[in-house]
Amino acid sequence: MDNIRVGPLRYKVVELPIVKSEDGRDLYGEIDYVERKIRISTAQPEAARLPTYWHEVIHGILAQAAMHKQNNNEQLVTILANGIVQVLQDNPEMSEV
């Protein structure tokens, strides 16, 4: 993971030992729409990093579409992220399409 394009925007993806919210909470990941960075915490189990990465990508997709209400629905974002990761992992041939 280095850079990812979401719509017309390119985000730099960085892994860090600690990712904190603006109010000091520990996070698994975050997307920074201003600096165009996706930060992934390495403090979480390795198996959780890909769902976290997809979670932040989905935030980026929804933000790009100005779907703010859906973008603030963390449960929806997590369900979509986990679903995408599961489908891709269970159907590796999909990445060859």
Sequential DSSP letters for 48-67 = HHHHHHHHHHHHHHHHHTT-
Using CB under 5 A as the binding criterion, the count of chain residues that bind Zn ion stands at 1
Helices in 1-97 by DSSP H: which ranges? 46-64, 68-71, 74-90
Instruction: Provide, rounded to whole angstroms, the least separation between the CB of residue 96 and Zn ion.
Output: 30
Residues between 55 and 84 that touch Zn ion (CB under 5 A): 74
Instruction: Provide, rounded to whole angstroms, the least separation between the CB of residue 1 and Zn ion.
Output: 17
CB atoms within 10 A of CB 66: 8
Instruction: Provide, rounded to whole angstroms, the least separation between the CB of residue 93 and Zn ion.
Output: 29
Task: Give the footprint of Zn ion on this chain (CB under 5 A).
Answer: 74
